[in-house]
C-alpha cells in the first residue's frame, strides 16, 4: 500500500523531523494536532535527542503539547485515585479500560497521549450499585436529555457519563466493551476473569484483551476521528507486548474466542502496511482466512485510508463518503436495523430543536 503522508513518515522515522521545510512542518503539525498526535511527535523528538535542532517555533508549539499530555496523565491518575476512594471498602472487581489502563501499566503508547475521560468496567449486575456510589460521592450526570438517558439505560453498554464538578474529567462506567445490541458484543465475563490485579487494587485486561479492545473500538465501533492515533497505539502494543512470545500464541485464539477476528485482521493489515509493524509471519498467515472478501476489503481500505488522517487520500466528497460510510457501518454493527433507524431519526430531528 503506497502511503504518501508526512505525518506517517515522521511517526515512522522521527529523525526526518530535522530536515523538514517550513511548509512540511505546517502540514505535519496540522495533521498531528487534528489526530491528537502532536504530543507524540514532541516526545519522539526529545527521545532521539533532536528537539534542540528543530525550529524555535516548533519547539515552542511542542512545549505546549508537552504540558498538555503531562497534565492529562496527572488528571487521569488523580481521577483513578478519586474513584478508588469512592469505592473504598468494597472488594468489587473494577477494571480500568483504555487510557486509564495504559497509564496504570506505564505502557509505551501513553507517551504524549491525551486522555479526556476515564473508562472503567464493572459486572453488569453491579452497575446500579456503582452509579449510586459515584452519585453519592459527588459525581453528576453529564447527559440530562431524557431520550439520551433512556437510550443509555435501555441499550448500550455503559452508564451515561458521570462528571465530578470539581475536576471536569468524565468517567464512563461500562458493563461491556461494546453495546449489548451489537452483533459483536462479546461475553465480557471472559475478559474480566483473566484480568490482572494492579498494585492499587484495580484490574486491567490481559495484554491480548487490551489490544483487542483497542482494535474492536477502532474497526467496529467507529472511532473515526482518531483513527491514526488508534492505529499507532496498536503498533506500539504489538511492539511492546510482542516481545513476549506467549502474546503471539494467545492472540488469534483469543480473537476467535471473543469473536473479534475480522477486526484483528484489519488491525494487523493496516498496521503492517502503514507503519511497517513487525508481525510474525505465522500470525499473518493464520489471520488471513479471517479477512474480508475482495470487494469488502477494497471498500474498507478506501474508507479507512480516507479518514486515517485529515490530508491523506480522500478529499471533499470522497472523504465525506468515508467518514459517513464508517459512521453508518459502525452503527450498523452496533444495533439492529429497526432500532438503528429509530435512533438516527430521533438524532436527526433533534438537530432542529432550538433548545437542545
Partner 1 sequence: MPVASRFHNENKLVKLNDSELDKRLSGDGIAMEVGPFSVNVLIKFKNVREDFLKIYRDFPFYDEPIVLDHSISVFGRNLFRQYLRPQAFVETEMNNDTIPLPAKIGMVSLEMGFNWQVAMGCKQYLMFHAGVVARDGIGLIMPAMSGSGKSTLAAGLSFRGWQLHSDEFGLLDLDAGELIPYPRAVSLKNQSIPVMKEWVSREHDNYEDYFTPAYPGTPKGTICYLRPPDQSIEEMHKRTKPNFVILPIFDPNSEPKIRPITKTMAFFRLVASSANYGDIGERAFSSIAKIIEESFVCEIIYPSLDTAVELVEAFIAEHSDPKKAGQDDG
Residue ranges in contact with partner 1 by CB under 8 A:
21-23, 25-26, 29-30, 33-34, 55-58, 60-61, 63-65, 67-68, 70-71, 74-75, 225
Nearer to partner 1, 166 or 199 (CB): 166
197, containing H or E segment: strand 196-197
Nearer to partner 1, 68 or 180 (CB): 68
Least distance from partner 1 to the Cβ atom of residue 164, Å: 14
| Residues ≥6 apart with Cβ < 8 Å to 241 | 207, 208, 210, 211, 247
Nearer to partner 1, 34 or 137 (CB): 34
Measured between alpha carbons, how far is 334 from 313 in angstroms, rounded to an integer?
27
Nearer to partner 1, 239 or 319 (CB): 319
Nearer to partner 1, 69 or 207 (CB): 69
Given 3-state DSSP classes, what are the helix, strand and coil percentages for the chain, each rounded to the nearest 5? Answer: 65, 5, 30
Least distance from partner 1 to the Cβ atom of residue 225, Å: 8
Nearer to partner 1, 19 or 89 (CB): 19
Helix axes 316-334, 294-307, angle to 10 degrees: 120
Nearer to partner 1, 21 or 293 (CB): 21
Least distance from partner 1 to the Cβ atom of residue 261, Å: 33
Least distance from partner 1 to the Cβ atom of residue 6, Å: 14
Least distance from partner 1 to the Cβ atom of residue 29, Å: 7
Counting Cα atoms < 13 Å in the Cβ hemisphere of 103 gives 28
Least distance from partner 1 to the Cβ atom of residue 58, Å: 6
Least distance from partner 1 to the Cβ atom of residue 62, Å: 9
C-alpha cell at 90: 468494597
Helix axes 261-275, 207-219, angle to 10 degrees: 90
CB contact at 8 A, 169 and 49: no
Counting Cα atoms < 13 Å in the Cβ hemisphere of 277 gives 24
Look at residue 196 and give its three-state secondary structure: strand
Amino acid at each position: 500500500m503506497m502511503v504518501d503522508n508526512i505525518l506517517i513518515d515522521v511517526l515512522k522515522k522521527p529523525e526526518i523531523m530535522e530536515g523538514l521545510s517550513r511548509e512540511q512542518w505546517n502540514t505535519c503539525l496540522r495533521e498531528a494536532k487534528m489526530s491528537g498526535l502532536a504530543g507524540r511527535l514532541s516526545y519522539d523528538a526529545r527521545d532521539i535527542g533532536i528537539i534542540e535542532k528543530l525550529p524555535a517555533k516548533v519547539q515552542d508549539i511542542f512545549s505546549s503539547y508537552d504540558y498538555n499530555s503531562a497534565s492529562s496523565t496527572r488528571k487521569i491518575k488523580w481521577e483513578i485515585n478519586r474513584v478508588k476512594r469512592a469505592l473504598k471498602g468494597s472488594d468489587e472487581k473494577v477494571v480500568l479500560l483504555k487510557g486509564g489502563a495504559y497509564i496504570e501499566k506505564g505502557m509505551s503508547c501513553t507517551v504524549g497521549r491525551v486522555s479526556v475521560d476515564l473508562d472503567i468496567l464493572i459486572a453488569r449486575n453491579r452497575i446500579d450499585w456503582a452509579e449510586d456510589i459515584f452519585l453519592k460521592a459527588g459525581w453528576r450526570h453529564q447527559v440530562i436529555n431524557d431520550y439520551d438517558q433512556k437510550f443509555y439505560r435501555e441499550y448500550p453498554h455503559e452508564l451515561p457519563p458521570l462528571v465530578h464538578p470539581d475536576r471536569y474529567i468524565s468517567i464512563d462506567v461500562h458493563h461491556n466493551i461494546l453495546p449489548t445490541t451489537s452483533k459483536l458484543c462479546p461475553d465480557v465475563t471472559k475478559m474480566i476473569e483473566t484480568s490482572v490485579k494492579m498494585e492499587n487494587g484495580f484490574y486491567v485486561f490481559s495484554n491480548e484483551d487490551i489490544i483487542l479492545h483497542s482494535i474492536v473500538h477502532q474497526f467496529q465501533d467507529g472511532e473515526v476521528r482518531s483513527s491514526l492515533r488508534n492505529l499507532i497505539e496498536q503498533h506500539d502494543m504489538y511492539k511492546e507486548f510482542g516481545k513476549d512470545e506467549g502474546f503471539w500464541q494467545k492472540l488469534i485464539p483469543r480473537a476467535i474466542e471473543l469473536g473479534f477476528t475480522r477486526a484483528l485482521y484489519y488491525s494487523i493489515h493496516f498496521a503492517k502496511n502503514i507503519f511497517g509493524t513487525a508481525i510474525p509471519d505465522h500470525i499473518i498467515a493464520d489471520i488471513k482466512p479471517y479477512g474480508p472478501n475482495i470487494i469488502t476489503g477494497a471498500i474498507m481500505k478506501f474508507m479507512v485510508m480516507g479518514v486515517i488522517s485529515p490530508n491523506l487520500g480522500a478529499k471533499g466528497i470522497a472523504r465525506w463518503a468515508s467518514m459517513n460510510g464508517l459512521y453508518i457501518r459502525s452503527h450498523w454493527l452496533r444495533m439492529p436495523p429497526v432500532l438503528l433507524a429509530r435512533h438516527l431519526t430521533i438524532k436527526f430531528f433533534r438537530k432542529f430543536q432550538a433548545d437542545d
